[in-house]
A and B are shown apart, each in its own frame.
Chain A
Amino acid sequence: QQQVRQSSQSLTVWEGETAILNCSYENSAFDYFPWYQQFPGEGPALLIAIRSVSDKKEDGRFTIFFNKREKNLSLHIKDSQPGDSATYFCAASGNSNNRIFFGDGTQLVVKP
Protein backbone atom coordinates (compact mmCIF):
# COMPACT_ATOMS: atom_id res chain seq x y z
CA GLN A 1 0.00 0.00 0.00
CA GLN A 2 1.46 3.30 -1.07
CA GLN A 3 1.90 5.56 1.94
CA VAL A 4 2.12 8.86 0.05
CA ARG A 5 0.24 9.65 -3.15
CA GLN A 6 0.65 12.52 -5.56
CA SER A 7 -2.38 13.08 -7.72
CA SER A 8 -0.62 14.23 -10.87
CA GLN A 9 2.32 12.62 -12.61
CA SER A 10 2.86 15.82 -14.58
CA LEU A 11 1.67 19.41 -14.59
CA THR A 12 2.20 22.20 -17.11
CA VAL A 13 1.60 25.87 -16.33
CA TRP A 14 2.48 29.17 -17.98
CA GLU A 15 5.06 31.49 -16.55
CA GLY A 16 3.48 33.74 -13.91
CA GLU A 17 0.69 31.31 -13.00
CA THR A 18 0.35 29.51 -9.67
CA ALA A 19 1.22 25.84 -9.88
CA ILE A 20 -0.64 23.60 -7.43
CA LEU A 21 0.74 20.16 -6.63
CA ASN A 22 -1.44 17.85 -4.57
CA CYS A 23 -0.49 15.09 -2.16
CA SER A 24 -2.29 12.74 0.21
CA TYR A 25 -1.13 10.20 2.79
CA GLU A 26 -2.40 7.13 4.60
CA ASN A 27 -0.69 6.93 7.95
CA SER A 28 -2.14 9.15 10.70
CA ALA A 29 1.15 8.82 12.59
CA PHE A 30 2.96 10.93 9.99
CA ASP A 31 3.73 14.34 11.45
CA TYR A 32 6.33 15.85 9.16
CA PHE A 33 5.89 16.53 5.46
CA PRO A 34 8.84 17.71 3.38
CA TRP A 35 8.73 18.53 -0.32
CA TYR A 36 11.85 17.72 -2.30
CA GLN A 37 12.72 19.35 -5.62
CA GLN A 38 14.77 17.46 -8.17
CA PHE A 39 16.30 18.87 -11.35
CA PRO A 40 17.47 16.52 -14.13
CA GLY A 41 20.90 15.07 -13.40
CA GLU A 42 20.85 16.10 -9.75
CA GLY A 43 19.80 14.60 -6.46
CA PRO A 44 16.60 15.68 -4.69
CA ALA A 45 16.93 18.71 -2.42
CA LEU A 46 14.66 19.81 0.39
CA LEU A 47 12.50 22.72 -0.77
CA ILE A 48 10.06 23.35 2.07
CA ALA A 49 8.46 21.32 4.86
CA ILE A 50 5.56 21.48 7.30
CA ARG A 51 4.73 19.85 10.62
CA SER A 52 1.26 18.48 11.27
CA VAL A 53 0.61 21.06 14.02
CA SER A 54 0.49 23.76 11.33
CA ASP A 55 -1.93 24.25 8.48
CA LYS A 56 0.23 26.55 6.40
CA LYS A 57 3.91 27.12 5.75
CA GLU A 58 5.21 29.85 3.50
CA ASP A 59 8.70 30.44 2.13
CA GLY A 60 8.92 33.07 -0.58
CA ARG A 61 6.90 31.91 -3.58
CA PHE A 62 6.35 28.44 -2.10
CA THR A 63 3.47 27.65 0.26
CA ILE A 64 2.28 24.38 1.74
CA PHE A 65 -1.37 24.08 2.74
CA PHE A 66 -2.02 21.17 5.09
CA ASN A 67 -5.32 19.52 6.05
CA LYS A 68 -4.81 17.02 8.85
CA ARG A 69 -8.43 15.89 8.98
CA GLU A 70 -8.49 15.07 5.27
CA LYS A 71 -4.89 13.78 5.28
CA ASN A 72 -3.88 15.85 2.33
CA LEU A 73 -1.61 18.74 1.54
CA SER A 74 -0.68 20.86 -1.44
CA LEU A 75 2.32 22.83 -2.61
CA HIS A 76 1.53 26.15 -4.23
CA ILE A 77 4.19 27.81 -6.37
CA LYS A 78 3.22 31.42 -6.95
CA ASP A 79 4.42 33.33 -10.01
CA SER A 80 5.91 30.19 -11.55
CA GLN A 81 9.17 30.61 -13.43
CA PRO A 82 10.73 28.38 -16.12
CA GLY A 83 13.52 27.71 -13.60
CA ASP A 84 10.93 26.01 -11.36
CA SER A 85 10.59 23.23 -13.95
CA ALA A 86 11.57 20.12 -12.02
CA THR A 87 10.13 17.03 -10.38
CA TYR A 88 8.58 17.62 -6.97
CA PHE A 89 8.34 14.80 -4.45
CA CYS A 90 5.93 14.98 -1.56
CA ALA A 91 7.21 12.98 1.41
CA ALA A 92 6.12 12.06 4.91
CA SER A 93 7.64 10.73 8.09
CA GLY A 94 6.80 10.12 11.74
CA ASN A 95 8.85 10.32 14.90
CA SER A 96 8.68 6.60 15.56
CA ASN A 97 11.41 5.87 13.06
CA ASN A 98 13.66 7.73 10.70
CA ARG A 99 12.07 6.43 7.54
CA ILE A 100 10.93 8.91 4.91
CA PHE A 101 8.19 7.84 2.51
CA PHE A 102 8.23 9.49 -0.91
CA GLY A 103 5.35 9.96 -3.31
CA ASP A 104 5.87 9.13 -6.98
CA GLY A 105 6.60 12.75 -7.87
CA THR A 106 5.00 15.38 -10.07
CA GLN A 107 6.96 16.66 -13.04
CA LEU A 108 6.29 20.37 -13.36
CA VAL A 109 6.88 22.21 -16.62
CA VAL A 110 6.64 25.99 -16.62
CA LYS A 111 6.29 27.38 -20.13
CA PRO A 112 7.64 30.86 -20.87
Chain B
Amino acid sequence: DAGITQSPRYKITETGRQVTLMCHQTWSHSYMFWYRQDLGHGLRLIYYSAAADITDKGEVPDGYVVSRSKTENFPLTLESATRSQTSVYFCASSGNVLGNEQFFGPGTRLTVL
Protein backbone atom coordinates (compact mmCIF):
# COMPACT_ATOMS: atom_id res chain seq x y z
CA ASP B 1 0.00 0.00 0.00
CA ALA B 2 2.01 2.96 -1.31
CA GLY B 3 -0.39 5.59 0.02
CA ILE B 4 0.89 8.98 -0.99
CA THR B 5 4.28 9.54 -2.55
CA GLN B 6 6.23 12.60 -3.60
CA SER B 7 9.11 13.04 -5.99
CA PRO B 8 11.78 14.14 -5.99
CA ARG B 9 12.52 14.00 -2.28
CA TYR B 10 15.30 16.56 -2.61
CA LYS B 11 15.82 19.18 -5.29
CA ILE B 12 18.33 21.97 -5.77
CA THR B 13 17.65 24.44 -8.53
CA GLU B 14 18.56 27.95 -9.56
CA THR B 15 16.59 31.15 -9.55
CA GLY B 16 14.43 31.51 -12.63
CA ARG B 17 14.21 27.82 -13.48
CA GLN B 18 10.97 25.91 -13.73
CA VAL B 19 10.53 23.10 -11.25
CA THR B 20 7.77 20.53 -10.97
CA LEU B 21 7.10 18.57 -7.82
CA MET B 22 5.11 15.39 -8.20
CA CYS B 23 2.50 13.90 -5.91
CA HIS B 24 0.77 10.56 -6.38
CA GLN B 25 -1.81 8.84 -4.18
CA THR B 26 -3.23 5.34 -4.39
CA TRP B 27 -6.24 5.79 -2.11
CA SER B 28 -8.58 7.30 -4.72
CA HIS B 29 -9.04 10.27 -2.41
CA SER B 30 -11.03 13.12 -3.90
CA TYR B 31 -9.09 15.95 -2.30
CA MET B 32 -5.42 16.72 -2.70
CA PHE B 33 -3.42 19.57 -1.20
CA TRP B 34 -0.06 21.25 -1.47
CA TYR B 35 1.54 22.91 1.54
CA ARG B 36 4.83 24.57 2.19
CA GLN B 37 6.39 24.49 5.64
CA ASP B 38 8.85 27.10 6.79
CA LEU B 39 10.29 27.92 10.20
CA GLY B 40 8.10 30.44 11.91
CA HIS B 41 5.18 29.97 9.52
CA GLY B 42 4.08 26.42 10.00
CA LEU B 43 2.14 24.68 7.25
CA ARG B 44 0.68 27.04 4.67
CA LEU B 45 -1.75 25.88 2.02
CA ILE B 46 -0.70 26.68 -1.54
CA TYR B 47 -3.41 25.03 -3.65
CA TYR B 48 -5.91 22.28 -3.30
CA SER B 49 -8.09 20.22 -5.60
CA ALA B 50 -11.48 18.64 -5.11
CA ALA B 51 -11.32 16.38 -8.15
CA ALA B 52 -9.75 16.08 -11.56
CA ASP B 53 -9.73 19.47 -13.29
CA ILE B 54 -10.97 21.32 -10.17
CA THR B 55 -8.42 23.39 -8.28
CA ASP B 56 -8.59 26.25 -5.78
CA LYS B 57 -6.11 28.69 -4.35
CA GLY B 58 -4.97 28.44 -0.79
CA GLU B 59 -3.24 30.96 1.43
CA VAL B 60 -0.02 31.41 -0.61
CA PRO B 61 -0.65 30.57 -4.29
CA ASP B 62 1.51 33.24 -5.96
CA GLY B 63 4.35 31.83 -8.03
CA TYR B 64 2.85 28.34 -8.19
CA VAL B 65 0.74 26.49 -10.74
CA VAL B 66 -1.12 23.21 -10.27
CA SER B 67 -3.00 20.81 -12.47
CA ARG B 68 -4.98 17.68 -11.88
CA SER B 69 -5.69 15.74 -15.05
CA LYS B 70 -5.94 12.43 -13.14
CA THR B 71 -7.42 11.87 -9.71
CA GLU B 72 -4.26 10.23 -8.41
CA ASN B 73 -1.76 12.90 -9.46
CA PHE B 74 -1.42 16.51 -8.37
CA PRO B 75 1.79 18.13 -9.64
CA LEU B 76 2.96 21.51 -8.36
CA THR B 77 5.00 23.72 -10.69
CA LEU B 78 7.14 26.68 -9.79
CA GLU B 79 7.21 28.50 -13.11
CA SER B 80 10.21 30.69 -12.29
CA ALA B 81 11.73 29.67 -8.97
CA THR B 82 12.78 32.32 -6.48
CA ARG B 83 14.92 32.02 -3.35
CA SER B 84 11.86 32.70 -1.21
CA GLN B 85 10.41 29.43 -2.51
CA THR B 86 13.12 27.45 -0.74
CA SER B 87 11.05 25.32 1.59
CA VAL B 88 9.77 21.86 2.42
CA TYR B 89 6.73 21.01 0.31
CA PHE B 90 4.16 18.51 1.51
CA CYS B 91 1.41 16.97 -0.53
CA ALA B 92 -1.64 15.62 1.28
CA SER B 93 -4.91 13.93 0.42
CA SER B 94 -8.23 13.36 2.08
CA GLY B 95 -11.46 11.58 1.32
CA ASN B 96 -14.72 12.94 0.00
CA VAL B 97 -15.39 15.71 2.51
CA LEU B 98 -13.35 18.88 2.69
CA GLY B 99 -12.27 19.37 6.28
CA ASN B 100 -11.77 15.66 6.98
CA GLU B 101 -8.44 14.37 8.21
CA GLN B 102 -5.61 14.64 5.72
CA PHE B 103 -2.76 12.26 5.08
CA PHE B 104 0.62 13.60 4.10
CA GLY B 105 3.34 12.50 1.73
CA PRO B 106 6.97 12.41 2.88
CA GLY B 107 7.77 15.87 1.55
CA THR B 108 10.15 17.43 -0.96
CA ARG B 109 13.00 19.61 0.26
CA LEU B 110 13.53 22.30 -2.34
CA THR B 111 16.47 24.67 -2.34
CA VAL B 112 16.55 27.56 -4.78
CA LEU B 113 20.02 29.07 -5.18
Partners in one complex: no
Binding site for A on B (CB under 8 A): none
